[in-house]
Amino acid sequence: MTKETVKQLLITIVQALVTKPDDVSIDITEDDRFINYNITLSPEDVGRVIGKNGTVIQAIRSLVYGIRIDDVLRIKLNIAD
């Protein structure tokens, strides 16, 4: 998979969970070990994406963390404040 394919997958998943899907955006940054996907969304939708005790975001992370873009780099998912 490519970085853009993973980004589209995340946008599709997150937009289905929130009440304001037009406010969802994802920025991609890279460092030595990770490709960081920073999700920005409406403040009232943060709780919907995190879920009770973090169950929703953990399920999304479990799905996405299994994807390898390069052999060396791993994916990291963050919700931006």
Q: Residue 25 is part of a domain; what is its CATH number?
A: 3.30.300.20
Number of compact structural domains in the chain: 1
- The residue with greater pLDDT, 67 or 48, is 48
Query: 69 pLDDT exceeds 90?
Result: no
Sequence-ordered strand ranges (E) for the chain = 25-30, 34-40, 74-79
pLDDT attached to residue 73: 84
Domain that holds residue 54: 3-79
Three-class DSSP category at 35: strand
Paired tokens of 73: 């780099």
Kindly report, residue by residue over 4-63, the tens digit of the pLDDT: 999 999 999 999 999 999 999 999 999 888 999 999 999 999 999 999 999 999 999 999
- Give the pLDDT confidence score for residue 45 in this predicted structure: 93
